Structure 1
Amino acid sequence: MSKGFYRQLAKTNMKKNGKTYTPYILSVIAAVAMFYIIQSLALNPGFENMLGFDTMNSILIFACWVVRFFLVIFMLYTNSFLIKQRRKEFGVYHMLGLEKKHLAITLFWESLSVLVIGLFAGILFGMLLDKLLYAVLIRMLGFSVPLGFFVSPLAIGRTVVLFVVIMALNYFYDIAQIHATSPIELLHGTDMGEKEPRAKWLLAILGFILLATGYTISLKIEDPVSALAMFFVAVLCVIFGTYLLFTAGSIALLKLLKKKKSFYYKTNHFVSVSGMMYRMKQNAIGLAHICVLSTMVLVMISTTSSMMFSMHDILYTRYPMQNMCYVSGTSRSDDQKMIEAIHQMAKETGCDVKDEIYVRGCIIYTRRHGDAFEADASAMGTSAGVLFCMNLEDYNKSMHTKETLEPGEVLVYAAHERYGKDMIEIMGQDYRAKEVKKAPCNGILASYMSSGYYIVFPDEAAVEQIAEHIPYQYDDCFNELRSYYGIDIDGDADQQKELYKKIQKYPSTNMSSFSVENRNVNEKSLNALYGGLFFTGAFLGVLFMIATVLIIYYKQMSEGYDDRKRFHIMQQVGMTHEEVSSAIRSQVLMVFFMPLVAACIHTCFAFPMIRRMLSLFNMRNTALLAGCMVGCFVVFGIIYVLVYLMTARTYNRIVQE
């Protein structure tokens, strides 16, 4: 046979299987476009001169790998559905004289056609969207959008390579399926008789244990750093638990219902349980996919959007004053000279001082055991506590309060969560803890991933005594008292920057170290981090949403072909058309909305852990996070219902054929 015959046969096959090939080609086009866009953004030179470029670039590169990994799995899944629906067609061709090698050649031309169409249309569509998304991202980060149109040859090359590999994997999978199946099995296609699924109790129990473990981790872990470290463990437990419960747990539950004769041997229950058993056997993996993807969409978009909406609070927590000076190796008199000099600089810029804070104390990196804190430099960045010790006079002046302390008592303020204990032990010394709700916020301490605690002692002598007993951890002057001075002025942005530049030039003689931070200067970098996270979360959320819609469409088609046979069989055994329609409709609705309900439960249990992790990034607005999650679920639920209504038409057409 000539090569033209196989090309023509491939073309005819694709037209004849339009119901399955059209969404498959559209999914390839969408996948190509999404991958090209994220690659092009990561390679766009327009970010290079932007403040916070390194942060933004790292986030986009991470997103590229996530998208790459996801697309390989997703395209393999959609292809497996396509080849399943065409088994009977291949059987007919085989009976008409085409050998398996001829089918392989035909599949090659089909795969090549899909690849060419997908790459051409996907890259073209991606180029059109790339400029729009680049402009959105730039505006989100607070920069002006440059003119010009960027096309990345490297992004095109990487996209072509990835999808050539994906389509090659799909092609070899299809060939393996055909060669591993006998001609009779191919001819019968999906009509082969199915055995009743067996209950796999061990897998069902394991799934329940894994899911319970993931939920328990989320609910029980209180420390934010530990929550961050254990997050992926909890995620893996929930994902594997979800797959096991959908595949094995659902069958086990239905088997239990079947054994209960008083329940099972009723017309409605008999039909529903029997139908659901086979339905879950065929669709459990797809339903688990939908559940996991839905949970990812809800978690990613709600968390990143809540961080974006709370940018103002996060900025003012990290940079509590317009200018914040960090000084070590000075006395109080030296600090007073510095403060007077900075006041003079403010006058030179034509501004008055609105507010200022000054505290003097020491930082201790510790390991926490219950209510005991032991100095340990190696604990930095772990599930530890960073203590900032200061005296009561500085605290009251900075906070404009009149707090008092009894002998043996200290004020305690926890930066990330409540301390919640009556006693606190610091380096072997016990104190009564009087918890307060606010402290003179130290931007450096707020930036630590470890839990931060402000400890207020009665006087500076007590602070000095603590500092003297700090072991040398990094350098010889580590146990010195350090000074923190913040100032706000009433000037505009230019005047604030001018003051910042003047403070930077302040002579650092008689100082071990001197540094200054400015809120306006660092705002762009913070926008790059949180704006980049929001964009990436939204981008991946849209990608997973598209994947969810396509999986739902394929699931509805697959169930339509299966239910068409069941529909006729149940009518032949005496059930009316209305009874059959009602039984199948109730099963479809139950199966369809099961992943959405499970995703909602997963998200609710994930909320405590997500809240604690976000506190590490100074996002502590619990009400906002909860509102974002509820809002995302409502919007996602509406989209989910609309997808059901649209795909239900395809399902009904197939069933009634």
Structure 2
Amino acid sequence: MTLFSLARKNIVRNLSQYFLYIASMVFSIIIYFTFVTLKYSDTIAEQTASSQKLDSLMSGAAVILIFFVAIFIAYSNSFFMKKRKKEVALYALLGVRNRQIGFMLFFENLLLGLVSLVVGILLGFLCSKGFMTILIYLMGYDVIAPFTFSGTAALNTSIVFFIIFLVTSFQGYRLIYQFKLIDLFHASKKGEAVPKPSKGVAILGILLIVIGYWLAMQDLFTSKVWEKVGFLMTALIILTTVIVGTFLLFHSVTGFVLELIKKNEKWLWKGLHLMTISQLLYRIRGNARTLTVIAVLSATTVTAGGAVYGLYYNTNDQVLTADPSTFMYRQTDAKSDEEVSAILPDTKYDEVIEALSVTFHAKELNDLDGSGKRIYTVIDEETYNKLAALQNKDVLRLKEDHAVILDIGYDERLSPDYKGKTITTKNNTAITFQGVKTQTVLNAGTAGITVVVSNHTFEALQKDGESLTYRVIGMDKASVDLSGEMAKEIPEEGQFSSAPQDFQLALESVGSLLFIGSFLGLVFLAATGSIIYFKVLTEAEEDKSQYNMLHKMGVSAKEMRKSIASQVVVIFFVPLAAGLCHSVVALKAFSSLLMMDLAKPVLIWMVAYTVIYGLYYILTVASYNRIITQNNKTEG
């Protein structure tokens, strides 16, 4: 029997144990192959206006995926090697040479990788149509993607993953040379070093997390800490304190909590509670590093995904804020107007309004450029109220010689404090701001920041500014194609703005980010769940003798299943809870930075993540129970 055939038989014999490892690798390959396929896709290039930008995003995502998958595969492989050490020792004890054992492990791991690669590319091809359709849909296009097989993408994927599998296979080859026989026989009994809980360390862990949270919640633009320490250094401090604090949380804080639970003797001596708590004390403290990795990965995935989904969720509201009218442009000649009218279908409103472009002396507003001048589009109160009624907005009531500024980008941390400030023209016509609104009635892309003045003041300002005529069009439904036709008829100086076009461009950018973020998040989630799965099942092999002893003592299978479920739920959901807490703080800071309500989309994202993560918990508990049940049947 050759080493290659022996490796093949070992894989077949242990296929149930390798299944999730293979499935995770296959899923990673599918996602990478999909990204590379989309990068070379002619369909994407033809449909999107930002294909070059998407190409860069896909390339960047592919690099991140390669880096992460390489670490995940190496980490997962180390778990399986640890599990196989006793078997390797037996081969050595039976006289098989170290070189032969090394080559067997090398072939075994390489064969697993190659099988995963072939399956991943085939499934990636079958799924490519669906993935491409999802991407095109998220980007706002209504197109059914064709089946496409990219030879370049397949070659790229094969080379990248073959190198990764080659490296991890050498990791298996070196195993026999790294340990003595006695170490190999007892390797399965060695976990991570179990640290003793310390009150000082526990307090330090909580303090570090609190410091990280406090820094993250400080306003980026107004915080004295961010200003003095610097952006990069503060961000590094936040990451360091939160990660170290999380490690110490699992190192000691959870240990104290479990010790407190143990003091409840009435509860402790019911069922297998004593065994459950004792094993948890060992496992949470002993696996502090692994649980910290899980918590950080969960926080990263939820934060990145929640932020992007929040932006996508709010895209329509953002566009409606910037473009309250479907179309708007500055009238420059009668011919363009006639051409536009000829192609326009039924409209909700079609208004021609008069406005002014006025340069104001605005030293009180503390201009960032120091010029003391600002150019605003000015409309009168009557025009504003007319458009507001058409757009279902509240009407304005202005005091004489007062104005309201319409600034959709207003941020009280950065923008001038308009209220009560006075600005003047070159002819000393003065207006005083009575307030500011973060919504507008004119498309910001055409009119910019708009000032609403009284009818009388508007007449007085006509000698100070350039007269403008805008055409404002509102429609219930309008297409990007119609927008394109109109744009051809309007000269560049018309400053044409289109809500459908702006919405499409926003969807292209945010939709592609959501697609990439979602699938990278799924890969991270698959890896996260798999790491805990491997860890728990490794411990299940160690616990077989304990549960078999309980079985012989007459403990029911129901009690043992309950104990197993209780242990695994803590191992799974304590790091998840920590990760979600970290992401809530990060997303709250992100929400404040963008002045955007992300509560609903972030909650949806968190629920989806938790549900998928919960499926790994169910699978892990079922596998753990199967190992214990089979051992009890075998051992009697």
**1:96-141 Cα distance to aligned partner (Å, 9 max, x none):** 2234333221112112211221221111111111122123323443
2:614 to 641, 645, 649: 641
The answer to which of 543-552 and 106-115 deviates more is: 543-552
Q: How does 1:370-381 map to 2 (within 5 A)?
A: 373-376=366-369
1:6 to 3, 12, 15: 3
Q: Which residue of 1 aligns with 2:516?
A: 536
1:36–1:492 distance in 2 versus 1, CA, 3 Å: closer
1:601–1:324 distance in 2 versus 1, CA, 3 Å: same
- Give the CA deviation at 1:518: 3.0
> Whole-Å Cα distance in 2 between the matches of residues 174 and 427 of structure 1?
75
| Partner SS, residue 628 of structure 1 | helix
1:255–1:520 distance in 2 versus 1, CA, 3 Å: closer
> Whole-Å Cα distance in 1 between the matches of residues 223 and 324 of structure 2?
23
Q: Which residue of 2 aligns with 1:249?
A: 249
Amino acid at match of 1:9: L
| Partner SS, residue 46 of structure 1 | helix
> Whole-Å Cα distance in 1 between the matches of residues 350 and 431 of structure 2?
39
- Give the CA deviation at 1:654: 2.5
> Whole-Å Cα distance in 2 between the matches of residues 350 and 436 of structure 1?
31
**1:546-585 Cα distance to aligned partner (Å, 9 max, x none):** 2233223213312312333554688999999998776665
2:583 to 603, 618, 641: 603
- Give the CA deviation at 1:174: 3.2
8 Å CA contact retained: 2:328, 2:472: yes
1:547 to 513, 516, 527: 527
8 Å CA contact retained: 1:387, 1:455: no
| Partner SS, residue 48 of structure 1 | helix
8 Å CA contact retained: 1:359, 1:395: no
2:397 to 391, 397, 403: 403
| Partner SS, residue 404 of structure 1 | coil
1:97–1:633 distance in 2 versus 1, CA, 3 Å: same
1:423–1:430 distance in 2 versus 1, CA, 3 Å: farther
Instruction: Please give the root-mean-square deviation of Cα atoms over the aligned residues, in Å.
Output: 4.7
- Give the CA deviation at 1:185: 0.4
> Whole-Å Cα distance in 2 between the matches of residues 210 and 354 of structure 1?
59
2:539 counterpart of 1:559: yes
1:413–1:176 distance in 2 versus 1, CA, 3 Å: farther
- Give the CA deviation at 1:646: 2.5
Amino acid at match of 2:328: M
Amino acid at match of 2:83: Q
> Whole-Å Cα distance in 2 between the matches of residues 135 and 187 of structure 1?
52
2:478 counterpart of 1:485: no
8 Å CA contact retained: 1:207, 1:243: no
1:127–1:495 distance in 2 versus 1, CA, 3 Å: closer
Amino acid at match of 2:404: L
> Whole-Å Cα distance in 2 between the matches of residues 579 and 492 of structure 1?
63
- Give the CA deviation at 1:598: 2.0
1:487–1:89 distance in 2 versus 1, CA, 3 Å: same
**1:213-242 Cα distance to aligned partner (Å, 9 max, x none):** 44334433265999x999998886666555
Q: Which residue of 2 aligns with 1:354?
A: 350
Amino acid at match of 1:180: Q
| Partner SS, residue 58 of structure 1 | helix
Q: How does 1:501-580 map to 2 (within 5 A)?
A: 501-504=488-491, 515-567=495-547
| Partner SS, residue 374 of structure 1 | coil
> Whole-Å Cα distance in 2 between the matches of residues 183 and 214 of structure 1?
46
- 5+ long unaligned stretches in structure 2: 390-394, 425-429, 632-636
2:298 counterpart of 1:290: no
1:419 to 412, 429, 446: 412
Q: Which residue of 1 aligns with 2:328?
A: 324
> Whole-Å Cα distance in 1 between the matches of residues 354 and 519 of structure 2?
44
> Whole-Å Cα distance in 2 between the matches of residues 194 and 522 of structure 1?
54
1:453–1:601 distance in 2 versus 1, CA, 3 Å: farther
8 Å CA contact retained: 1:399, 1:440: yes
Q: Which residue of 1 aligns with 2:392?
A: none
**1:38-66 Cα distance to aligned partner (Å, 9 max, x none):** 11111112222224223333332232222
2:319 to 285, 305, 315: 315
Amino acid at match of 1:277: L
1:16–1:163 distance in 2 versus 1, CA, 3 Å: same
TM-score (norm 2): 0.77
Q: Which residue of 2 aligns with 1:263?
A: 263
2:139 counterpart of 1:131: no
| Partner SS, residue 403 of structure 1 | coil
- Give the CA deviation at 1:247: 3.4
8 Å CA contact retained: 2:352, 2:469: no
| Partner SS, residue 2 of structure 2 | helix
Q: Which residue of 1 aligns with 2:600?
A: 627
Amino acid at match of 1:35: Y
8 Å CA contact retained: 2:85, 2:184: yes
| Partner SS, residue 98 of structure 1 | coil
Amino acid at match of 1:595: P
> Whole-Å Cα distance in 2 between the matches of residues 294 and 492 of structure 1?
41
**1:247-286 Cα distance to aligned partner (Å, 9 max, x none):** 3332222555688899398856875654333202443333
> Whole-Å Cα distance in 1 between the matches of residues 337 and 94 of structure 2?
94
8 Å CA contact retained: 2:357, 2:375: no
8 Å CA contact retained: 2:548, 2:628: no
| Partner SS, residue 160 of structure 1 | helix
Q: How does 1:34-53 map to 2 (within 5 A)?
A: 34-52=31-49, 53=51
The answer to which of 575-584 and 240-249 deviates more is: 575-584
Amino acid at match of 1:500: A
The answer to which of 646-655 and 543-552 deviates more is: 543-552
User: Number of paired residues?
Assistant: 599
- 5+ long unaligned stretches in structure 1: 327-334, 379-385, 447-451, 468-479, 506-512
1:117 to 101, 115, 127: 115
1:584–1:310 distance in 2 versus 1, CA, 3 Å: closer
| Partner SS, residue 46 of structure 2 | coil
| Partner SS, residue 350 of structure 2 | strand
The answer to which of 278-287 and 560-569 deviates more is: 560-569
Q: Which residue of 2 aligns with 1:651?
A: 624
TM-score (norm 1): 0.75
8 Å CA contact retained: 1:213, 1:234: no
| Partner SS, residue 151 of structure 1 | coil
1:209–1:105 distance in 2 versus 1, CA, 3 Å: same
Q: Which residue of 2 aligns with 1:30?
A: 27
| Partner SS, residue 375 of structure 1 | coil
**1:514-568 Cα distance to aligned partner (Å, 9 max, x none):** 5323334454433322321232232223223322332232133123123335546
